[in-house]
Amino acid sequence: MTPKSPPTEAELALVRSCVLHEDDQIIALNKPAGLSSQGARGGVNSLEDLLVVFARSNGKRPHLVHRLDRDTSGVILAARTKPAAAFLGKRIAARQIRKSYLAIVTPGAPDPASGTIEVPLRRVERGREVFMQVCPPDHPDAETALSRYRTLSSSSQAALLSVSPHTGRMHQIRVHLAHIGRPIAGDPRYGGALVLGGEAVPRLMLHAQSLSFAHPSGGERRIIAEPPADFIRVASAAQLAITPG
């Protein structure tokens, strides 16, 4: 295993620039695509590693309470204390944290334009590769999975969807949208288009736009991350309109 190098000043500055909200209990960040949430390989630092920039004087640093795929951008939440981590962990387990994603899919709007996808998934491992597949409900490895989607904008070649996963299976949104014939652009694993409107799609066009949750100190919070420039550029090439979250 390649040892990790200490975070560089540029990496720490990047993470500081990603902060959407910070208080004594939590930190919400707008994770850039290409940065692994946890467990990066090859000596590369993950977001979890870079949270050292927020360490307290006693050396304790925040820890992520959930993950995003490496090529997914958007809101991700870290707890600054053990009680906050326990509080949020319980709400994630009880499916009480509401997540909303933006996804650019092809070819055009799904039919129906809004709906629910409730199809079980199972984990598949082939060598070092791990991915998900839809499967029958009675499969011994079946995991229940439910996603709700709504079409926000569409053209002849693509559509912009708002997707809310009720369950949190690995690759859930990616597999569910591919299952209804609308794979996410930039997702070759599940059949996504790599070119839209004559423009190369640089990465998975999936963005975690918002998180709504009970705050450990009381009250409800909603954190919003507007989509990054590459996402907006692909949407524009596909003639899709993006409105602020």
As annotated, the active-site residues are 69
Measured between alpha carbons, how far is 36 from 33 in angstroms, rounded to an integer? 8
First-to-final CA distance of the chain: 41
Measured between alpha carbons, how far is 85 from 51 in angstroms, rounded to an integer? 15
Measured between alpha carbons, how far is 59 from 84 in angstroms, rounded to an integer? 17
State the CB neighbour count (10 A cutoff) for residue 83.
11
Report the sign of the C-alpha dihedral through residues 124, 74, 29, 16, in that order. positive
Question: Which amino acid, residue 104?
Answer: I
Which residues lie closer than 8 Å to 218 by C-beta, 6 or more apart? Answer: none
Measured between alpha carbons, how far is 68 from 165 in angstroms, rounded to an integer? 13
Q: What is the largest CA-CA distance in the chain?
A: 56
